[in-house]
Amino acid sequence: MAFAQVVIGQTIRCSVLYKSGENIPIDPDGWYDGLTGSPVDSTVGEPYAQIYDENEALQVFVPASTVSKKETGLFYFDYVVPVIASIGIYRIRWYAYVSQVPIIYDDYFKVTATPTATSDTLITRIKRELKDLSTELDDLEYADAQMDSEGDVMPVSALGLAWHNQWEILWLTKRGVRHCLQRILNNWLTKFSIGKAGKSLSLSDPSRAIMQRIDQIDQTWNNARKDHWFDGVHWIFRPEQSAITSVSVPMGYRVDTWTGADHTLYYDSHGHLVDAYYDEDPWL
């Protein structure tokens, strides 16, 4: 899953949509319209929210008086991420009653460092693999494709790609290429139509070729994960015959910050720790 991202010191818009049992937008029971001037807290104003950092520590309480209504059922507030905020996934918990039923909704966003060292580096690698097809996308689409690839594989560290092993960099790049190809295909199908302006555009061959390439990347990715295990932090090389104990034991990560070479220990089929050296060339 790809989360909305915001750089430290910048602003992100947080929103929530309430609906009735008939799936129709509806305002919460205690919607505060800001006109009465009465004190607002969690007992008299809705909706209100709380923001928690990556360690689940409460960062800020957002009273209903600071929440704006855009349209029926749709509410939002703008949150300025402090310059001293930590990097990670933040949680927004919304509170309200709808037809006297308590509704609690969680949403998430990702706080990152200045994107130059992370996003731009990954996008450059994606562009290099796309080569001449890269002219089909604008910068915003590359950023979206990068977020999609992170959602497929893992978030990119605020410390840059050098923090990851080469296998992770390989697949962050290739999944980004896959999503770029999908966007190019979507662009072709939406921007052009056969017979438009008297022109006959044959899209079957290039579109089929792109779809085949997307399918190939997906199949290769599914196969590649068979000998790796993702514990929420890193993909660790683990042969299929390795013991299941490697899943439950905390691993000590040993990743070369300059080369990305992964020296992390893993458990073999006998339950013994093995000093593995996994050094796949990500550009082969």
Q: Look at the alpha carbons of 24, 25, 28, 29 in this order and tell me if their dihedral is positive or negative.
A: negative
Q: What pLDDT, on the 0 to 100 scale, is given for residue 123?
A: 84
pLDDT in tens, 15-74: 999 998 888 999 998 875 544 444 344 345 789 999 999 889 999 999 998 999 999 999
Q: 79: buried, middle or exposed (CB in 10 Å: 19+, 13-18, 0-12)?
A: buried
Q: Look at the alpha carbons of 79, 83, 88, 93 in this order and tell me if their dihedral is positive or negative.
A: negative
Over residues 193-218, the mean pLDDT reads 68
* 276 pLDDT more than 50: yes
Q: What pLDDT, on the 0 to 100 scale, is given for residue 270?
A: 62
Q: What pLDDT, on the 0 to 100 scale, is given for residue 139?
A: 76
Longest dimension (CA), the chain: 70
| DSSP code of residue 31 | B
Give how far the C-alpha of residue 255 lies from the chain's centroid of Cα atoms, to the nearest Å.
Answer: 23
Least confident of 24-28, 120-124, 153-157, 270-274: 270-274
* 114 pLDDT more than 60: no
Higher pLDDT, 150 or 51: 51
pLDDT in tens, 167-194: 888 899 999 999 999 988 887 766 555 4
Torsion of CA 217, 88, 140, 137, to 10 degrees: -10
- C-beta separation of 53 from 88 below 8 A: yes
Please report which confidence band the pLDDT of residue 11 belongs to, taking 50, 70 and 90 as the band edges.
confident
Please report which confidence band the pLDDT of residue 274 belongs to, taking 50, 70 and 90 as the band edges.
low
Which helix (H) or strand (E) segment is 274 a member of? strand 273-275
Q: What pLDDT, on the 0 to 100 scale, is given for residue 92?
A: 95
In 171-262, DSSP assigns E strands to 228-230, 235-237
Higher pLDDT, 181 or 117: 181
Q: Which amino acid is at 255?
A: V
Q: What percent of the chain has pLDDT over 70?
A: 67
* 201 pLDDT more than 80: no
Structural domains in the chain, CATH included, are 4-112 (2.60.40.1930), 115-226 (no CATH)
Distances (CA, A) of 177 to 58, 132, 144, 171: 37, 13, 11, 9
Higher pLDDT, 107 or 186: 107
Q: What is the DSSP string of 61-95?
A: EE-GGGPEEEETTEEEEEEEPPTTPPSEEEEEEEE
Q: Average pLDDT over the chain, rounded to whole?
A: 76
For residue 237, give the nearest of 162, 173, 171, 179 by alpha carbon.
Answer: 171
Residues 6+ apart with CB under 8 A from 249: 267
Please report which confidence band the pLDDT of residue 95 belongs to, taking 50, 70 and 90 as the band edges.
very high
Least confident of 2-6, 7-11, 254-258, 275-279: 275-279
Bridge partners of 13? 78
Please report which confidence band the pLDDT of residue 241 belongs to, taking 50, 70 and 90 as the band edges.
low
Single pTM value for the model: 0.50
